[in-house]
Homo-oligomer: A and B are copies of this chain.
Amino acid sequence: MIHVQEVVTRDGFQMEPSFIPTEEKIRLINELSVAGFSKIEVTSFVSPRHVPQLKDAKAVLNGIEKNPNVTYVVLVPNEKGAELALQSPVDELNLVMSASATHNRANVNRSHSESLDSFSRIISMARSANVLANGTVATAFGCPFEGEISSDGILRIVDSYLSMGMNSFTLADTTGMAYPTQVEAMVREVKRRFPEIPLTLHFHNTRGLGLSNILYAIEAGADRFDAALGGIGGCPFAPGASGNVCTEDVVHMLSNMGFTTSVDLDHILSLARELPKIIGHATPGQVAKAGKRLELHPSPF
């Protein structure tokens, strides 16, 4: 079983130029909640000045109909965000630090030790509230400022995450720099070192390699992947490039290859085809345009 985890309303929507109405977000999450995902990253408690698109985090979390089979996640950047998140019905906090010190400074204006200290306090808060914590290592496959990231650095961060009590962790290819053999080697190393801890891979399709990276990660033993409906969610460094790896393209690929996912492909295809109306522009996803491979056309004869 491969777990596909939906992030469209957080990582997808956060870059959208026009505000998506709260009720549209709630409607979409309610649909995603019954489409078979085990985990949905709903929103983020970040500064509404920095990310106005997600300023309705509280209203969204309180407005959705939760499915008990789904883990609902929110991203929190700091204690203040965690405090707000824990006042809402959430199952898991996602805490993000970049493996690249430069990227972490640019993203959250913190050193590594400042990020880790803060995570440690947030985990105590989450524990008291009976909420899980997932630690994400951003720029795990390369940093747009620093370039290559050593696997030693990644392992050290995951070590810190787990010793402070994170329940699971994610390696994120924040700006789409991962390539298949790199992914395979990294996943093997991480799985060897932390075989029991749930590992998610979060890929962006910025350079076209999202699906290939997933296949090589599976080869190396990974079984949890973030993806965004329609493949939306971009990167400020790559205008016009693709965003997150596309949920329906991932599920279509996996199901053709004989893997089981719990996701209902027809359901998410119909949602993916509504997405351009919701966000006001076309999306990078392919299968929503082309149809499933065996959706045949009438013979011309």
Q: What residues make up the interface of A, taking CB atoms closer than 8 Å to B?
A: 102, 105-106, 142, 144-148, 176-177, 179-182, 205-209, 211-212, 215-216, 235, 237-242, 246, 249, 252-253, 256-258, 282, 285-287, 289-291, 293-294, 296-301
Chain B: CB-nearest residue to A231 = B208
Number of copies: 2
- Please tell me which one of the listed residues B181, B256, B282 contacts residue A258 in the complex, with CB atoms under 8 A apart: B181
User: Known contacts A240-B282, A257-B179: does B205 contact A301 (CB below 8 Å)?
Assistant: no
- Please tell me which one of the listed residues B179, B212, B235, B290 contacts residue A238 in the complex, with CB atoms under 8 A apart: B290
Chain B residues closer than 8 Å to A240, beta-carbon distance = 282, 289
Chain B: CB-nearest residue to A178 = B293
Q: Is the CB of A181 within 8 A of B257?
A: yes
Chain B residues closer than 8 Å to A285, beta-carbon distance = 208
User: Known contacts A145-B297, A299-B145: does B179 contact A249 (CB below 8 Å)?
Assistant: no
- Interface centre among A182, A211, A216, A239, by most chain B C-beta atoms within 10 angstroms, is A211
Q: Is the CB of A144 within 8 A of B297?
A: yes
> Which 6 pairs across A and B sit closest by C-beta, in order of nearness?
A238-B290, A208-B286, A179-B256, A241-B290, A208-B249, A177-B293
